[in-house]
Every structure is written in C-alpha cells, then in structure tokens.
Chain A
Amino acid sequence: MSFITRGFSGRGRDRDERLPPGQTLVEDWPVLSAGPTPEISTDEWRFEVRTEAGRKEWTWDEMQALGVEDVTVDIHCVTHWSKLGMAWRGVPLDKIFEEVETSHDYVMAHSYGGYTTNVPLDELLDGQAWIAFEADGEPLDPEHGGPARLLVPHLYFWKSAKWIRGLVTMPTDDPGFWEQNGYHLHGDPWREERYW
C-alpha cells in the first residue's frame, strides 16, 4: 500500500536488522515525557506491589538486595528512534514476583508524577523486564526516569515507565496514561503497535 515519495532516497542504506519497522537509529538518548521531571531521592524512594491479596513494599536497599543483574538490550521509542545494545543494571521482575502471589493477568505500572502504563504480567516475567537504575554505566538521570524505571525492552519504550513507584495487578487489561490518549494497548515494536 505504500508508494514512492518522489526524490526521497533516505540514508538508511545499511539498515540494521535489529531495527523494527519505522525506527531510526540514534546515538544520543532523546527524552520524551508528558510533564515536568520529578526528583526523587533513593532515601524516599519506595516500590510497592498491590494485588487482590494485599500489598508489599520495598525500600531502595531492599530492592537492591533482591539481586541485581546486568543486561544489554535494544530500546525502541514509539516516536521512531531506537538505541541498540544499551547496557542496563536492574532487578528482574522475576525476583519481585517470587515474593508476590496473584491470579491476575495484567498489571498497571504507577510512577511518581502520576504516569501509568498497562502491561500483561506474562510479559514482565521470565527475564523480560527489570526495575532498572543504571544505564550505560551511570545511575539513571532524573530525565530518563531516575532513580528507577521499569525496563520492558521488547515493548515500545512508553511501557518502560520512568520514576516507577509500584505495580497494581488487574484482572483485565485497562489502558494506562498514553493508552487512554491514543497509544496501542500492547505496543509491540516489531508489529508496529503504535496507536489504536
């Protein structure tokens, strides 16, 4: 269905096969968010998970004690840029859900600052998602979600909620902030699930 734009040749000749459709490689790290950047110190930072059974909370040190991993992943933003092979450090969600029981299939991620985003619980487990606090060897800047953000690299990056403060499990898939504002409920970059 696409057609040629007269005179356009582009410059992505040697397109990296790690780039999903419609994505362009960037070297810098663009910032995109809906409002001002919250500033949260690691002392005041708390992470909580709420399920149908109750709630559990971790401080910064308790979170680190769950077991930190190094991961190298590609990230893909819905606004068409991708970064490849980024080095991250964080706690896998598998560690968190070793301490939490739920029969729910979905979670809503909640951030300091009020942002929310929905993700199927299945897609946060089995080494697919982290509570990340370092990228490229540096603590995460507040602009990039520091002190800690969700990292779900196989989905568009709006799912990787910055300034993460907790997860609430849900029996059904309800839309989060951008999802209510026109973004796709799921957000797979390889299927270009950008908008509904």
Chain B
Amino acid sequence: MTRAAWHVATVAEARQETPTSRRIALDIPTWPGNEAGAHLDLRLTAEDGYQASRSYSIASSGPGTRVVLAIAEVDGGEVSPFLVHDLQVGDQIEVHGPLGAFFVWRPARDGAPGDAADSSAGADAAAMPRPVQLIAGGSGVVPLFAMASAHAAAADATPFRLLYSVRTPEDLFFADDLAALAAAPEPTRLALDVVYTRQAPAGATRAPGRLTADVLGELVWPVEREPRIFVCGPTPFVESVADWLVAAGHPASSIRTERFGGA
C-alpha cells in the first residue's frame, strides 16, 4: 500500500445525492490512487485555528486523482452538516489517506476472480472463486459501491451480491449507478437486493421493516458457498448483521466489518 499522507483537495463537484446526503468529488493532484473500500480522514480548519477531523469512505477507486465521497447528514453533527450544506465547488480542504488496507477488495487481472490470494480457502481459491457478499446499511454503501464498481470495471468474474438496507426509495445512494451495475451482463452483473425499512416502493414484494436474521438469510449467499462478506454501516446495524451471520454459520474469519459510528 502507498504510504498515507496529507493532501490538499479542491471540491470539483458537489451534488445532492438523497434528500439528506451529498456526493462530493474532490480533485487531489497528489493523490496516489486508492483501493476499493479504502477511506480517508478529512480535516476542516476554522479561522481561529480550531480543527475537526472525520473519516469518510471513498466511493471511487483506482489510480486517478479524483476522489468521490458521499456524506450523510447526521443531525446536530459538527462536520457532516457543513459538508452537506456549506462546502462549495472550489473550496479547499485537507485529507489524509488513503487509509484502511483491510476493508478492501482487489480485482484480479484478466477477468479472473479477484482477491484469491487473500482467501482463507488457500491455494484452491483461485480455481473455486468464493463469491463476495456486500451488506450495507445507509451510508455504509459507500465503500461497498466502490468494490462493486471496481468489480465491474475490471470485468472480474467473482460472483458479487449486495444487500442494501435503506429507509425509503429516495434514500438510496448511487441509485442509478447501482441499477446499471445490476443490469450489467454476466459475469460482472451485481445481484442487488434492497431492504426498505420505512417505506417500500410501489409494487415491492416485501413490506417495509427492519432487516431481520431471516430476511438476511434469504438474501445473502448461503454458508456452503463460503462467501467473503463485507458489512458496513452504522455500528448497531453492523453489530446485528455480523452476529446473525456468525449464528447462521458463516466463519468469523470470512466477515469483515466497517463501523461508521453513531448510536
């Protein structure tokens, strides 16, 4: 991994992502590129020198110097409301990264299944691809979207599936991009399952409601397929999902988690 460093970032684009979140593209000329799933630390400095730093996952990956973030407003928060409402195109901030060499997915070259070397199944893994299961709660989809995009961009043949829990249809991050990934041809097609917790779209087969262990069991690759699982979202979401996965028989070593905090 490239050694992480401080960089000056300029806001290149900012647009509303959902009613309560914003997608921000940063130009970072000194950025060394990042793996899919990595995050960065973002630092804001007030006129009197007061600083606030927070971690944000990166929705983009690869060697480029344009870095995409998606930020959900946390009510009463110090940093996220500023990023969602006040930061403007042309403004500069500081970022430190890329960070997090653990919660990443690496595509393989030549369309073969990715990340075989990282697999606990050992030498056979190259021959028998372990499918990848992504599980997102709310803004936790950001690093998982980066992984799904990297998978498609590399035409990687690893079976990929995303279970995404959101409140309502309008709270979906990257809605169009995810729909495109879900419509891509095999073998890179993303199997996409969305669970709506408060309000489901017209014609939905499942009534809105919080994710349960049973629904989770229906919508993730079964234990026999030995999926590698990435779970990301608010802490209570990640805690419940990871516990259910372990209870269902998925080995803890197959499950990687990223907790965004929050109560």
Instruction: Kindly specify which of B57-65, B92-100, B181-189 makes contact with the partner chain.
Output: B92-100
Q: Is the CB of B252 within 8 A of A113?
A: yes
Q: Is the CB of B47 within 8 A of A12?
A: no
Interface string of B100-126 (1 = CB under 8 A from A): 111100000000000000000000000
Q: Is the CB of A182 within 8 A of B47?
A: no
Q: Is the CB of A31 within 8 A of B239?
A: yes
Q: Which of A8, A30, A33 contacts B86 (CB 8 A)?
A: A8
CB distance from A7 to the nearest CB of B (A): 5
Q: Is the CB of A37 within 8 A of B243?
A: yes
A172 interface residue per 8 A CB criterion: no
Within 8 A of A (CB), among B227-248: 235, 239, 242-243, 245-246
Q: Which of A34, A36, A177, A196 contacts B3 (CB 8 A)?
A: A196
CB neighbours of B54 from chain A (8 A): 80
Give the number of residue pairs across the A-B interface with Cβ within 8 Å: 118
Q: Is the CB of A12 within 8 A of B78?
A: yes
Q: Is the CB of A2 within 8 A of B43?
A: yes
Q: Is the CB of B257 within 8 A of A8?
A: no
B16 interface residue per 8 A CB criterion: no
Nearest opposing residue in chain A for B259, CB measure: A32
B interface residues, tally (CB under 8 Å)? 48
The A interface, classified by DSSP as helix, strand, loop or mixed, is loop
Nearest opposing residue in chain B for A11, CB measure: B78
Q: How far is the CA of A87 from the CA of B147 in the complex (A)?
A: 41
Q: Is the CB of A2 within 8 A of B257?
A: no
Q: Is the CB of B102 within 8 A of A181?
A: yes
Q: How far is the CA of A9 from the CA of B52 in the complex (A)?
A: 10
Q: How far is the CA of A61 from the CA of B45 in the complex (A)?
A: 50
A interface residues, tally (CB under 8 Å)? 41
CB neighbours of A81 from chain B (8 A): 261
Q: Which of A8, A28, A196 contacts B263 (CB 8 A)?
A: A28
B204 interface residue per 8 A CB criterion: no
Nearest opposing residue in chain B for A77, CB measure: B261
Q: How far is the CA of A143 from the CA of B94 in the complex (A)?
A: 32
B255 interface residue per 8 A CB criterion: yes
CB neighbours of B242 from chain A (8 A): 35-37
CB neighbours of A30 from chain B (8 A): 235, 259, 261-262
Q: How far is the CA of A8 from the CA of B88 in the complex (A)?
A: 11
A191 interface residue per 8 A CB criterion: no
Q: Which of A8, A32, A35, A38 contacts B256 (CB 8 A)?
A: A35
Q: Is the CB of A36 within 8 A of B53?
A: no
Q: How far is the CA of A15 from the CA of B52 in the complex (A)?
A: 11
Q: Is the CB of A3 within 8 A of B92?
A: yes
Q: How far is the CA of A74 from the CA of B80 in the complex (A)?
A: 25
A10-B78, A80-B55, A113-B252 given as contacts; is B47 within 8 A of A34 (CB)?
no
CB neighbours of A21 from chain B (8 A): 51
Q: Is the CB of B99 within 8 A of A182?
A: yes
B205 interface residue per 8 A CB criterion: no
B202 interface residue per 8 A CB criterion: no
A7-B86, A28-B263 given as contacts; is B94 within 8 A of A2 (CB)?
yes
Nearest opposing residue in chain A for B38, CB measure: A182
Interface string of B13-52 (1 = CB under 8 A from A): 0000000000000000000000000000101111101111
B215 interface residue per 8 A CB criterion: no
Nearest opposing residue in chain A for B262, CB measure: A30
CB neighbours of B44 from chain A (8 A): 5, 8, 10
CB neighbours of B8 from chain A (8 A): 3
CB neighbours of B239 from chain A (8 A): 31, 37, 143
CB distance from B49 to the nearest CB of A (A): 8
CB neighbours of B179 from chain A (8 A): none
Q: Is the CB of B263 within 8 A of A182?
A: no
Taking A10-B44, A10-B52, A30-B262 as given, write out 12 further A-B residue pairs in contact, using a Cβ cutoff of 8 Å, ordered by the A residue number.
Answer: A3-B94, A4-B45, A6-B91, A9-B50, A10-B78, A31-B235, A31-B239, A35-B257, A37-B239, A114-B252, A195-B4, A195-B96
5 residue pairs from A and B, CB less than 8 Å apart: A1-B6, A10-B51, A22-B51, A35-B256, A182-B99
